[in-house]
Amino acid sequence: MNWRSISFRLVALYCGLLLVLGLSFSLFTVFSFERYTEVSIRAAVTVRASVIWDIIRGSIGKPAEVGALIERFSPAEQNRFFLVNVGGRTIYRSGNPADGSFDPSRLPFVDASLGPRYSNYGAVFLYSRRFTAPDGRAVTIETGQSDLFARDLEDSLVTSLVIGLPLLLLAAAAASYVLIRRALSPVEVMIQAAEAISFRNPRNRLPPLGTGDRVEALGLALNRMLDRLDSAYQHANRFSSDAAHELRTPLAIIQGELEFAMARGELAANVESALSNVLDEVGRLSKIVESLLMLSRMDHPSSQRGYASLDLHALAAETIEQMHLLAAEKRVTLKGPTGGKVMVSGDRDRLKQILVNLLDNGIKYNVAGGHVVVDVSAGPGVARLTVADSGIGIAPENLDYVFDRFYRVSTNRGEVGAGLGLAIVKSICHAHGGLISVASKVGLGTTFCVTLPSASRDAAPAPAATVPEMRDRVIESAA
Ligand code: ADP
């Protein structure tokens, strides 16, 4: 349970509110009940004293039995108490109550000479009032009633509240949690949709919720923000693509002119050497421009059109064959893939570019007598290409950045790359719904692992998210 989540806070707020209301209601109920009991008992004993006086006033001092008259009220059965005192002598005292809640013989005679009196004796509420008989004698009538029954009722009420309130709170917490989850389900939909938006499908947007509330307003605002970001990204992408495109022609002309000037052989040796350096740099510049052009094209969603099914194994074998000479020059051995066909769907030239760039690095950053081993294998729903070399390796602090554009590790070995080779490999992988990872040990070698979705029947690339193991990551690196 996340204590800071909106769901938890709403449930806590709701339950807190319910607790305060429940406690207030319980206190109010118990207090009102006590009050009601007291008022009704007080009224009952008061009225009863007057009624008794009305009944017995005529028989005071006459032979009629006062006790017999009062017994009409059945005090014992109804748990009531009556006492009649005439001229200081108690002539009647009711018997033991049926519920045994009090002992009538222990209840005192309360003097009411100064006026009617209310008093409590244990569970009994007593009322005492003095009357004057026709013969002038003082008659004190005492009526009492046990509130045991009311107390029992109150205890039951408190017990049900003590048990009921927590149960009510639990039920309310569960119900409010379910309701809040349901109310927040549109946010869940938005999260899923937002997770699915990437540079591979930049036109995807959050779905319209149709709820007409602030959550829908948030979705619409995010969609507008995505529109703006997409347009800015397309703009920047178009700019680098156009710039690279525009640079191509002048560079080709410079290159041609330089080659022409040098081919005539009329130049002084120092000028020729300077021009040769310029030609090298122009060549390097042309490669960078070509790489940038390729990267900006890879970033465009239309780059995924025209994919076809092809055998990655055969493509690797063919590329190794073509790069043998280059490897031999550096005294590096290339070892080809074993096994059979591994079908993937994609752009042949670009997939070949992956192999060329990885093999080129494997040769370039190797040691004399070293080797580069290429392996192609198939897993469930994926094709895996690994290029492992026995070269200089990459230090852990550089490993996270080698796929960044223009990132180069200084090796003091004189290799002059532009730092775009691995960025291109990563872009091609992503455009094919695949991923790339790297593991390296300084002084022992580096292994790149490319994972691509296997070719499906309709030859369309599967989105990366559909292949569970496909997450860009650096596998391992040790100095
Ligand atoms: P570059 O054109 O400089 O080779 P890359 O993008 O291909 O650019 O590589 C980026 C950096 O990663 C390189 O400068 C290099 O230091 C390092 N690197 C790439 N591949 C390897 C490898 N197989 N072994 C050691 N270092 C490598």
The residue extents of the domains of the chain are: 6-153, 214-298, 306-478
CA–centroid distance, residue 371 to ligand 1 (Å): 16
* Strand locations in 328-442 (E): 333-335, 343-346, 371-379, 382-389, 435-441
Residue to substitute in 295, 330, 365 for testing ligand 1 pocket (most ligand atoms within 8 angstroms of CB)? 365
pTM of the complete model: 0.59
The rounded distance, in Å, linking the Cα atoms of 296 and 252 is: 20
- Position with higher pLDDT, 477 vs 176: 176
Question: 361 CB less than 6 Å from ligand 1?
Answer: yes
The tens digit of pLDDT for each residue in 98-139 reads 888 899 998 888 888 889 999 988 889 999 999 998 888 899
Sheet holding 371-379, edge to edge: 333-335, 371-379, 382-389, 445-453, 435-441, 473-478
Question: 446 CB less than 6 Å from ligand 1?
Answer: yes
Which distant-in-sequence residues (6+ apart) come within 8 Å of 356 by Cβ? 319, 323
Ligand 1 atom at minimum distance from 419 CA? 8
Which distant-in-sequence residues (6+ apart) come within 8 Å of 454 by Cβ? 342, 343, 344, 378, 381, 382, 383
Which distant-in-sequence residues (6+ apart) come within 8 Å of 202 by Cβ? 230, 233, 301
Percent of the chain with pLDDT over 70: 91
SS3 content of the chain, % helix, strand, coil (to 5): 50, 20, 30
CATH number of 214-298: 1.10.287.130
Q: Which of 150, 101, 147 is nearest to 127 (CA)?
A: 147
- Position with higher pLDDT, 464 vs 286: 286
Nearest CA to ligand 1 atom 13: 408
243 pLDDT higher than 90:
no
Question: 419 CB less than 6 Å from ligand 1?
Answer: yes
Question: 392 CB less than 6 Å from ligand 1?
Answer: yes
Which of the four CATH numbers 2.20.25.90, 3.40.470.10, 3.30.565.10, 3.40.190.10 does domain 306-478 have? Answer: 3.30.565.10
CA–centroid distance, residue 108 to ligand 1 (Å): 108
Question: 365 CB less than 6 Å from ligand 1?
Answer: yes
Q: Do residues 452 and 429 make contact, with C-beta atoms less than 8 angstroms apart?
A: yes
CA–centroid distance, residue 236 to ligand 1 (Å): 26
Question: 418 CB less than 6 Å from ligand 1?
Answer: yes
Which distant-in-sequence residues (6+ apart) come within 8 Å of 218 by Cβ? 190
The rounded distance, in Å, linking the Cα atoms of 314 and 183 is: 54
Question: 102 CB less than 6 Å from ligand 1?
Answer: no
410 pLDDT higher than 50:
yes
Q: What is the DSSP string of 198-227?
A: -TTSTT--PPP----SHHHHHHHHHHHHHH
Same fold: 6-153 with 214-298? no
pLDDT band at 479 (very low <50, low <70, confident <90, very high): very low
Measure the CA angle with vertex 75, ends 72 and 77; round to 5°: 105
Q: In angstroms, how far is CA 202 from the centroid of its own chain?
A: 24
Which of the four CATH numbers 1.20.1740, 3.30.450, 1.10.3470, 3.90.580 does domain 6-153 have? Answer: 3.30.450
